[in-house]
Amino acid sequence: MNFPKDFLWGGAVAANQCEGAYDEDGKGLSVQDVAPKGWREAPTKLPTEDNLKLVGIDFYHRYQEDIRLFAEMGFKTFRLSIAWSRIFPQGDELEPNEAGLAFYDRVFDECHKYGMEPLVTLSHYETPLHLARTYDGWRSRQMIDFFEHYAKTVFTRYQDKIKYWLTFNEINSITHAPFLSGGIHTPKDELSKQDLYQAIHHELVASAKAVQACHEIIPTAQIGCMILGMPVYPLTPAPADVLAAMATERENFFFSDIQVRGAYPAYAKRFFKENGIELIMTPEDTAALKATVDFISFSYYMSTCESVDKTIEAGEGNILGGVPNPYLKASEWGWQIDPEGLRYYLNCLADRYQKPVFIVENGLGAVDELVELEDGTKTVLDDYRIDYMRDHLVQVSEAIEDGVEVMGYTSWGCIDLVSFTTAELRKRYGFIYVDRNDDGSGSLARYKKKSFNWYQEVIATNGESLVMK
């Protein structure tokens, strides 16, 4: 196997899906606290008891035990997000909440105790609710200043602790999930394309300003963008399908094209013209966008297809969805499994940008059964997860052989947590089983799954065990 010596093996979580403690130590509400059913349904007025994220997996109080388990697996890195509303409870204050800052000091120190580098996402679907309700999220230009202030605050505070940063998680998902991704309170069907793309523009400027601030405050750090990665194949070789696939792919590359190259891509002009979009873009915005990212990170769960035949029903999937591929099988949630798509996508990013890439999410959401072995140990025999991850990692190795500079791999939900799209607990991704169920029952105890030992060996052998029998 050809994984570089310093390959960053690890796992990933997001604050809103694991921390719980939604109103402790001065934390303000975030958009997640009023979204008990995931991204497709309208938010509630106040947090409701059926919202599993309010307790999450109680990482807020159990982070020491969890990080110790990650260290036991040999993680070199641990990707997590800072909950913006722990630092600025409303989002528009000038002074940060010290208790929130102190919590992440403790978490980062705990990682360093085991030689694990945290990889920190500034905003992972966790906009402070006040910003959504008062400013309509990224529709307001004022959000740029609020976010820049937040980013500068955490860069300054953690400058000696964090080397790797990401700005917005899956920034391209805002086109489908404007509330949870962009804090936009206006219902999706009332949001014009003009307003959506103006909001996107504000978010992209804010991302670039954070990149600039990171480079100034922590010159040794690296900061990346993060996109929802999903290769789009033409359903047939018909040229019209090929062009349709290109158009859909550009809707996603639009974001990273700006974050990596520092300016709007040429194809945006026609897209804006045909959709009646006229952006308000100041000379200061144009200058700010020139601060470009050091690397490209992305999530990868599935690929999809595109067709001009609009009678074909879209399949299930990671927010963006798409037309199902007749050659692929799907997970229990209908997400089509395509390990070779990961190699293909890694190559696409490398060819397009000539920058290092980082897979910061990948994994299988499945229903797990906790069983008791003869010696009394409880575990999950999750061979299906091992197969999924092995197949994907073998393709990562192929991409490295193709010449792609891959910085690392952090599997999604390295410990079971509340799912994003459907806000459930029975959809599990972890190497560690958490005893908590959709009805809120469970002791929150942690159990190592079979995949725990498997991943431990993968890391210990730097990937060699992937091809050993």
Q: How far is the CB of 234 from ligand BG6 (least distance, A)?
A: 24
Q: Does 14 bind ligand BG6 (CB under 6 A)?
A: yes
In Å, how far are 31, 35, 179, 237 from 45, measured between CA atoms?
11, 9, 14, 48
- Tokens describing residue 103: 């919590």
Q: Does 299 bind ligand BG6 (CB under 6 A)?
A: yes
Q: Which residues of 179-215 are buried (b: 16+ CB within 10 A; e: fewer)?
A: bbbbbbbbeeeebeeebbbbbbbbbbbbbbbbbbbbb
Q: How far is the CB of 144 from ligand BG6 (least distance, A)?
A: 23
Options 40-48, 229-237, 421-429, 437-445: segment touching ligand BG6 (CB under 6 A): 421-429
Q: How far is the CB of 312 from ligand BG6 (least distance, A)?
A: 23
Question: Of residues 420, 431, 452, 455, which one binds ligand BG6 by CB under 6 A?
Answer: 420
> SS3 sequence, 303-348?
CEEECCCCCCCCECCCCCCEECCCCCCECCCCCECCHHHHHHHHHH
Options 26-34, 89-97, 129-137, 418-426: segment touching ligand BG6 (CB under 6 A): 418-426
Question: Of residues 33, 66, 170, 285, which one binds ligand BG6 by CB under 6 A?
Answer: 170
Provide the sign of the torsion angle of the four alpha carbons 304, 351, 362, 259, taken in this order: negative
Q: How far is the CB of 173 from ligand BG6 (least distance, A)?
A: 7
Q: Does 412 bind ligand BG6 (CB under 6 A)?
A: yes
Q: How far is the CB of 227 from ligand BG6 (least distance, A)?
A: 10
Q: For ligand BG6, give the closer residue by CB, 361 or 368.
A: 361
Q: How far is the CB of 36 from ligand BG6 (least distance, A)?
A: 14
- Binding footprint of ligand BG6, residue count (CB under 6 A): 15
DSSP 415: B
Q: How far is the CB of 13 from ligand BG6 (least distance, A)?
A: 9
Q: Does 365 bind ligand BG6 (CB under 6 A)?
A: yes
Phi, psi of 228 (to 5 degrees): -75, 105
DSSP 146: H
To 5 degrees, how large is the angle CA 82–CA 166–CA 408?
Answer: 110
Active site residues: 170, 361
Q: For ligand BG6, give the closer residue by CB, 135 or 335.
A: 335
Question: Of residues 427, 428, 436, 448, which one binds ligand BG6 by CB under 6 A?
Answer: 427
Question: Of residues 419, 428, 431, 447, which one binds ligand BG6 by CB under 6 A?
Answer: 419
Q: For ligand BG6, give the closer residue by CB, 69 or 417.
A: 417
Provide the sign of the torsion angle of the four alpha carbons 336, 337, 343, 349, taken in this order: positive
Please choose, from the candidates 20, 18, 14, the residue with its C-alpha nearest in 3D space to the C-alpha of residue 54. 20
In Å, how far are 58, 156, 338, 413 from 80, measured between CA atoms?
14, 18, 26, 10
Options 155-163, 235-243, 343-351, 415-423: segment touching ligand BG6 (CB under 6 A): 415-423
Q: Are 148 and 209 within 8 A, CB to CB?
A: yes
Q: Are 256 and 295 within 8 A, CB to CB?
A: no
> SS3 sequence, 270-281?
HHHHHCCCCCCC
By CB under 6 A, the residues from 208 to 267 that bind ligand BG6 are none
Please choose, from the candidates 241, 258, 260, the residue with its C-alpha nearest in 3D space to the C-alpha of residue 304. 241
Q: Does 150 bind ligand BG6 (CB under 6 A)?
A: no
Cα distance between residue 26 and residue 88, in whole Å: 9
Question: Of residues 203, 241, 361, 368, which one binds ligand BG6 by CB under 6 A?
Answer: 361
Options 24-32, 109-117, 403-411, 417-425: segment touching ligand BG6 (CB under 6 A): 417-425
Q: For ligand BG6, give the closer residue by CB, 285 or 361.
A: 361
Note the residues at the interface with ligand BG6 (CB under 6 A). 14, 17, 169-170, 299, 318-319, 361, 365, 412, 419-422, 427
